[in-house]
Amino acid sequence: MDPKDVFCRVKSRLSGKQVVAAFAHISWGQFLLAQGPRGIEHLGVRITTFLRRLLGMEQVRVLGAEFEEDRLVIDVAPSWTKGRCSTCGATGPIRDQRVRRWRHLDVGGVECELRYSIRRVECSSCGVKVEQVPWAEHDTGFTKGFEDLIALMAQKTDKTTVARLLRIAWLTVGRVIERVVKRYGGDPSERLRGLRRIGIDELSYRKHHRYVTVVVDLDTRRVVWVAEGKDAAALDGFFEALGPAGTAALKVASIDMSGAFKKALRERAPHVRVVFDRFHVQRLVHDALDEIRRGMVAELRDPAEKRALKGTRFALQRSPWKLDAVARNKLTELEKENQPLYRAYLMKESLAAIFDTASPESIHSDLTGWLRWVEAEGLPPLVKAAETIAAHFDGITAYITVGVTNAITEGFNRKARVVTSRAYGFKRLSSFAAMLLLCCGGLSIPWPHVMPL
């Protein structure tokens, strides 16, 4: 039997919509491409109805469609006729209009754009504004569904994959993420509700040239606040949004020892128990160890000896169980040849071991013992680090006694590093800040799975 006859027979028993629906189960997109607009109209469903169902968007009319080289362009319009101000939603007289396009979700693997002659409205309270459209925000060339997809992918995968799979430039992604975070991040003060234990940290962006201050809720493990800068003033906005009641409810703040955040806490929330994060303490000792090694390299005359000592950096910095045989041999050599440096290495490792194993009962005596040892050895950079530790003794031991677990701070630091590398290439610091909230802020973005209308 001729396929055409089959069509006619089926058509005689089913309504046009049902026929389309039956085919849609195979693939809406493929069917559309194979049949072309005329094929669908032949089945008794208007192409515009078909496309309206396919888009699955409320309050959107479809006026027509055409293929343009490699993409499908669908002409749409809002279901309302009067122009509404995109800022406040009020109607007003139309000033002018011009054709604009919005990239939308692919249809059956084909790039799809919505096209509409958008109007500018003379709003009595906002001035001349572009009109509101149901499929997109006013300052973007992407539909909401497509932006959500970009953000969902940027949350999970690297930038090359996002850019290639979605056929977009990575540079544009930063702004998209800012909009999506604004759309689903809710009221910033909402994120701060019920805060008890927080971690405050600075993160560098763009090769350490620029910084943001990040506040993490240690109980939910979510980023709740991101602000530019790394000084006490960076926290002003946080405490203002938190308000007096929220500030009073704060119990613990885990910070580094640099002083800026300590000052802010002393001024704005003096009742909060300040805790110094073990990883910041360990970094201090790490750096001291490296300084000792570099000092010894500088003093050596023999180039071969210089090279050998330079080559120990990796072995000294990494955790011993992560070393390969070559690096372990270097440590063995060091133990024989350079006792002071080897002991400095042991001090670094024992401090880590203290934090790994200490209990609230043992931390005071363990840390005091460690400080005495470092002092007795008398290696200047380490003595200096020990002095800093001694000056912050209460806050450092509190890290163990108030039960801020390593998993939280370490987990966040690891994740933040991934996010930072992924956000690389964003020009604006606000895009990087939005990326942190997107990936670590517990946002729930709707998945762009469409139900045909």
For Zn ion, the binding residue among 40, 72, 107, 123 (CB under 5 A) is 123
Stretch that binds Zn ion, among 62-70, 72-80, 117-125, 367-375 (CB under 5 A): 117-125
Q: Rounded distance, CA 371 to CA 369, Å? A: 5
Q: Which is nearer to Zn ion, 85 or 316 (CB)?
A: 85
Please write down the long-range contacts of 327-333, taking CB distance under 8 Å and 24 or more positions apart.
Answer: 333/308
Torsion of CA 266, 269, 203, 354, to 10 degrees: 70
Minimum CB–partner distance for residue 118 and Zn ion (Å):
15
Q: Which is nearer to Zn ion, 88 or 326 (CB)?
A: 88
Stretch that binds Zn ion, among 16-24, 101-109, 123-131, 383-391 (CB under 5 A): 123-131
Q: Which is nearer to Zn ion, 125 or 362 (CB)?
A: 125
Minimum CB–partner distance for residue 86 and Zn ion (Å):
8
Which residues in the 247-286 window bind Zn ion by CB under 5 A?
none
Minimum CB–partner distance for residue 83 and Zn ion (Å):
11
Is residue 91 a contact point for Zn ion (CB under 5 A)?
no
Query: Residue 255 has which token pair?
Result: 């910070």
Q: Which of 129, 123, 166 is nearest to 148 (CA)?
A: 166
Q: Which is nearer to Zn ion, 124 or 157 (CB)?
A: 124
Minimum CB–partner distance for residue 80 and Zn ion (Å):
15
Please count the residues of this chain forming the interface with Zn ion, following the rule CB under 5 A: 6
Query: Residue 117 has which token pair?
Result: 């002659």
Stretch that binds Zn ion, among 33-41, 79-87, 148-156, 160-168 (CB under 5 A): 79-87
DSSP letters, 72-116, are EEEEEEESS-S-BBTTT--B--EEEEEEEEEEEEEETTEEEEEEE
Q: Which is nearer to Zn ion, 87 or 97 (CB)?
A: 87
Is residue 87 a contact point for Zn ion (CB under 5 A)?
yes
Stretch that binds Zn ion, among 40-48, 120-128, 135-143, 232-240 (CB under 5 A): 120-128
Q: Rounded distance, CA 452 to CA 57, Å? A: 8
DSSP letters, 144-187, are HHHHHHHHHHHHHS-HHHHHHHHT--HHHHHHHHHHHHHHHS--
Q: Where are the alpha helices (DSSP H) in 300-403?
A: 303-310, 313-317, 325-337, 339-357, 363-377, 380-391, 393-401
Is residue 126 a contact point for Zn ion (CB under 5 A)?
yes
Angle between helices 47-55 and 16-42 in degrees, nearest 10:
120
DSSP 3-state assignment of 134?
coil
Q: Which is nearer to Zn ion, 126 or 249 (CB)?
A: 126
Is residue 224 a contact point for Zn ion (CB under 5 A)?
no
Stretch that binds Zn ion, among 90-98, 200-208, 342-350, 436-444 (CB under 5 A): 90-98
**Chain Cα centroid distance, residue 329:** 40
Cβ distance 268 to 239 under 8 Å?
A: yes
Q: Which is nearer to Zn ion, 87 or 140 (CB)?
A: 87
Minimum CB–partner distance for residue 43 and Zn ion (Å):
44
For Zn ion, the binding residue among 19, 74, 85, 285 (CB under 5 A) is 85
Q: Which is nearer to Zn ion, 90 or 241 (CB)?
A: 90
Minimum CB–partner distance for residue 130 and Zn ion (Å):
11
Please provide the size of the chain in residues: 453
- Cα angle 182-186-190, degrees, rounded to a multiple of 5: 140
Q: Rounded distance, CA 78 to CA 100, Å? A: 14
Minimum CB–partner distance for residue 129 and Zn ion (Å):
6
Q: Which is nearer to Zn ion, 132 or 213 (CB)?
A: 132
Q: Rounded distance, CA 268 to CA 225, Å? A: 16
Minimum CB–partner distance for residue 137 and Zn ion (Å):
15
Enter the DSSP assignment of 136: B
Neighbours of 157 (CB within 10 A): 12
For Zn ion, the binding residue among 22, 34, 88, 165 (CB under 5 A) is 88
Is residue 130 a contact point for Zn ion (CB under 5 A)?
no
Q: Which is nearer to Zn ion, 88 or 165 (CB)?
A: 88
Q: Which is nearer to Zn ion, 78 or 381 (CB)?
A: 78
Report how far apart, in Å, the C-alpha atoms of 47 and of each of 35, 41, 50, 88, 317 are.
11, 6, 5, 34, 66
Stretch that binds Zn ion, among 83-91, 271-279, 293-301, 375-383 (CB under 5 A): 83-91
Minimum CB–partner distance for residue 82 and Zn ion (Å):
13
Minimum CB–partner distance for residue 185 and Zn ion (Å):
23
Q: Which is nearer to Zn ion, 126 or 308 (CB)?
A: 126
DSSP 3-state assignment of 355?
helix
Which residues in the 189-218 window bind Zn ion by CB under 5 A?
none
Contact residues for Zn ion, defined by CB under 5 A: 85, 87-88, 90, 123, 126
